[in-house]
Amino acid sequence: MSAITTHVLDTALGRPAAGARVSLDRRDEDGRWTSLCEAETDQDGRARHLMPSGAPLMPGVYRLTFDTGRYFGLRSVPTLYPAVVIVFETVADQAHYHVPLLVSPFGYSTYRGS
């Protein structure tokens, strides 16, 4: 399993957000962002392979960017949020971070999952 995973749930429909694009970046020491992966959620709304399987998780600041404008646009649903960006920090003693997104056209929330 990837050291960083996500799950997107469309709370307006009450089901997984299949086909949502997500990207993962890591902040370098100089403050620049380095792209690690671009993926699309599966039928269960999950992106399970944002990092290579077995790759160690480096402590640092990461950014997940969800293309919610495209996701809702493909469904002809207007949205206030064309993108959702979640920035989070990892620490050395944790091997896995699951960062879900609960999204609707006019609101979203996130939390640290398991």
CATH number for the domain harbouring residue 14: 2.60.40.180
Number of domains in the chain: 1
pLDDT at residue 83, rounded to an integer: 98
pLDDT at residue 104, rounded to an integer: 98
Residue closest to 11 by CA, chosen among 87, 71, 89: 71
Residue 52 lies in domain: 4-110
Mean pLDDT by 10 residues, the chain (114 residues): 94 98 97 96 97 87 98 97 98 93 98 94
pLDDT at residue 53, rounded to an integer: 79
pLDDT at residue 13, rounded to an integer: 97
pLDDT at residue 55, rounded to an integer: 82
pLDDT at residue 71, rounded to an integer: 98
Give me the phi and psi of 45, to 5 degrees please. Answer: 75, 15
pLDDT at residue 54, rounded to an integer: 79
Residue closest to 24 by CA, chosen among 99, 103, 109: 99
pLDDT at residue 70, rounded to an integer: 98
pTM of the model: 0.95
